[in-house]
Amino acid sequence: MVQALDIAVVQIGELTEDVDHNLDRLVDAVEAATEGDVPDLVVLPELITAPYFCTSHDTDRTGWTQTIPGAATARFATISRKRGCAIAFGTYERTTDGTFHNSVVIVDGSGEIVEWRTPHGGLMPAYRKLSLPASKVSGIDIDEKYHFAPGPAPATADLLGTRFGCVICYDRTFPEYWAVARALGAEVMLAVVSSLGSREDLFLAELQTRALESQTWVIAANRAGPETLNGVTVDYFGLSCVIAPNGEIVALAPAHRSGETLRFTIDLDRVTEARRALPLRRDRRADVISLLDDLTSGVLQPLPVDRRSGRDDDALPTTVTPIGTRG
């Protein structure tokens, strides 16, 4: 039984509008990361087959999509077969029915596409991002809801003698996605990211917390360096990392620097040790999780906050719009 996995995290960015050139750069980076002592798995950042383009609605970028299988999977599969290692990468996916997703694909050491399984047994050729941001980050407008459809559910993939879960960028901020992956048996979580601006401030702390909560290994690959697209230059902050199941950062790439590769061997026994020492799953309250579901969906409504006590009655409204109906 495999108890240790050698991981390479390729922190790369500074991509251009020439998708073929981008693929050439990515292939070169993976070739370099797997030369000599070959890792078991190479992990690349989110949407890494193109520049991050979700800062504008003005230009049609659907020409940058990848089918699965397609050009990108074919290029990476060639390396996988030659080196005998698996490769995980983020891409702009177009499905056979014309739906667009922000996705992560894994090709295994024989060049085959690894299937992801949902909690109800459905199979997908990629993990598809669940929560799509539409917000402003450090003055940069981001709208992934315009460009992508959300994925159907958390999913896991069996590979290299263990089970992987995944989060893509904004997904990482929703602890329930991690909890479902853990409940499905994940021991390693891929955090595949293109993150920028003020999200740098708590990036590592957030991932450390999620690792501790889920008691999984976290392999995080972030885009790094400046990219100019749609007249806007964005500097992605890097800080790709490997975090142990107890929240300890065991490997860390530099901030804002493209062209860096992390190597670290993860010990899967540490998952068992962490879970035995702090049995969080045993003590998780399913009834509380059900309450969260009811409150989020609007089945259960909280009472309005009474703003009047000890205050001027005219100073504040006496009711608050219930959760789930706020504009």
How far apart CA 266 and CA 219 sit, in angstroms, is: 10
By residue range, what is the domain housing residue 244? Answer: 4-290
| Domain CATH for 76 | 3.60.110.10
Q: In angstroms, how far is the first alpha carbon of the chain from the final one?
A: 52
Is beta strand 86-94 parallel, antiparallel or unpaired with respect to 41-43?
parallel
Question: Is residue 8 domain-resident?
Answer: yes
Is beta strand 86-94 parallel, antiparallel or unpaired with respect to 100-107?
antiparallel
pLDDT in the model for residue 119: 96
Question: Is residue 26 domain-resident?
Answer: yes
Question: Is residue 327 domain-resident?
Answer: no
Contacts of 209 (CB under 8 A, 6+ apart): 247
Question: Is residue 213 domain-resident?
Answer: yes
Total tally of structural domains belonging to the chain: 1
Question: Is residue 296 domain-resident?
Answer: no
- Residue 156 sits at φ, ψ, to 5 deg, of -130, 160
Per-residue pLDDT of the chain (327 residues; tens, 9 = 90+): 569 999 999 999 999 999 999 999 999 999 999 999 999 999 999 999 999 999 999 899 999 999 999 999 999 999 999 999 999 999 999 999 999 999 999 999 999 999 999 999 999 999 999 999 999 999 999 999 999 999 999 999 999 999 999 999 999 999 999 999 999 999 999 999 999 999 999 999 999 999 999 999 999 999 999 999 988 899 999 999 999 999 999 999 999 999 999 999 999 999 999 999 999 999 999 999 999 999 999 999 999 999 886 555 444 444 434 433 334
Question: Is residue 304 domain-resident?
Answer: no
How far apart CA 31 and CA 8 sit, in angstroms, is: 11
The residue behind tokens 């001027």 is 312
Question: Is residue 308 domain-resident?
Answer: no
Question: Is residue 11 domain-resident?
Answer: yes
Residue whose C-alpha is closest to residue 11's, from 180, 203, 188: 203
> Quick one: the chain helix, strand, coil %, rounded to 5?
30, 30, 45
